[in-house]
Amino acid sequence: MDYFLRPMSSADAHAIVRWRYPEEYAFYNMDADAEDLHEFLASEKWEPDTKFAVTDDGGELVGFFEFTTRDDVTEIGLGLRPDLTGQGQGQRFLRAGLLFSVDRFKPRHLKLTVATFNKRAIKVYERVGFAVTTTFVQKTNGGEYEFVEMAAELTRLRPFLYGGKRA
């Protein structure tokens, strides 16, 4: 399956809000935090060139990426549709987003943040070349949660992105 990124529409955002993640992953339901929900749906306030819907070969909405670039660092946020998680799609999905960000934003460094309980995602990120840079606690979703920030230099990700073995 191939993935394709396109600018996110308001309709895409509303569809994503209806996704329901199971059990502990319900943390990622968009309506778990009212402020995050409002920000996600306020398409008129989105910064240009930051939010992208991901579709599959058939044009079906399967995920999203958010990119924030400052200087030579691109921060990535992402979400895969709940019924596709835990099924071996993570690396392929991540690769599509990383290739898009490298082509579009030309970063030298990439970073992302993930809740520490999400071992599946952390494993995917580590496999492709990201490493934990810091751990922190953040108030969100009505509680305090521990997160890790992970980062990678583009040179470290090149084998994953373009073939060959990772350094």
What CATH number does the domain containing 12 carry?
A: 3.40.630.30
Question: pLDDT tens, 133-160?
Answer: 999 999 887 789 999 999 999 999 999 9
| pTM recorded for the entire structure | 0.92
Which H or E element spans position 88? none
Assess if residue 152 is contained within a domain: yes
pLDDT band, very low/low/confident/very high, at 36 (cuts 50, 70, 90): confident
Q: Report pLDDT for 167.
A: 41
Q: Are 79 and 28 in contact (CB under 8 A)?
A: yes
Assess if residue 73 is contained within a domain: yes
| Residues contacting 103, CB < 8 A, separation 6+ | none
Question: pLDDT tens, 54-99?
Answer: 999 999 999 999 999 999 999 999 999 999 999 999 999 999 999 9
| Domain count of the fold of the chain | 1
Q: What percent of the chain has pLDDT over 90?
A: 77
User: The domain containing residue 135 runs over which residues?
Assistant: 4-162
Assess if residue 84 is contained within a domain: yes
Assess if residue 167 is contained within a domain: no
Q: Give the C-alpha separation, 40 to 22, whole Å.
A: 21
Assess if residue 42 is contained within a domain: yes
Q: Kindly report the average pLDDT of the chain as a whole number.
A: 93
